Amino acid sequence: MTDASNPSGPIHLGQQTALPASPQEAMLDYVPNPRPGVNYLVRFVAPEFTSLCPVTGQPDFAHLVLDYSPAQTIVESKSLKLFLGSFRNHGAFHEDVTVGIGQRLAEEMQPVWLRIGGYWYPRGGMPIDVFWQTGPAPADLWVPEQGVPPYRGRG
């Protein structure tokens, strides 16, 4: 289970690993796709994602849904959890966080297709939902809805 970025194998799997101090310090592990040549969808959901408002320093909360169709590698889930957790002390706007996560995974993993939906809870009375994808989904790929209802508040 090695990849080009870490020839000795995953650095987090089976290891005691501290939460990275920042997204830039977080190292994502990628392992060989167990079904190369098969067009399938992988979904990760982080319903309790947090980052910090870059202006106030207050916590921002989101429900993230990450969908991708792997090419040669898949992202190892523990390293993804640590990467997402590293945003807890990171100040950035919702758009920067959501798109940045998608772009980093797309650049490093080189999937067939990837999309991310960031469903951010309201701050200042307004929820902000941010969506990004690498391009159109492959025609033969089953892509279910992300299943996150619009924010309704107490209504």
What are the boundaries of each domain within the chain?
Answer: 30-133
Alpha-helical regions (H) of the chain: 77-85, 94-109
Which stretch of 1-5, 31-35, 70-74, 123-127 has the lowest confidence by average pLDDT? 1-5
pLDDT tens digits, 125-139: 889 999 999 999 999
**Confidence (pLDDT) at 4:** 45
DSSP state letter for 88: G
Task: Compute the half-sphere exposure of residue 41: CA atoms within 13 Å on the CB side of its CA.
Answer: 18
Catalytic residue annotation: 53, 60
Listed in sequence order, the residues at least 6 apart from 40 whose beta carbon sits closer than 8 Å to its beta carbon are 69, 70, 141
pTM above 0.85, yes or no: yes
pLDDT tens digits, 59-114: 999 999 999 999 999 999 999 999 999 999 999 999 999 999 999 999 999 999 99
CA 126 to chain centre: 23
Q: How confident is the model at residue 7 (pLDDT cuts 50, 70, 90)?
A: low
Please state which architecture CATH assigns to domain 30-133: 2-Layer Sandwich (3.30)
**Confidence (pLDDT) at 14:** 65
Residue type, 26: A
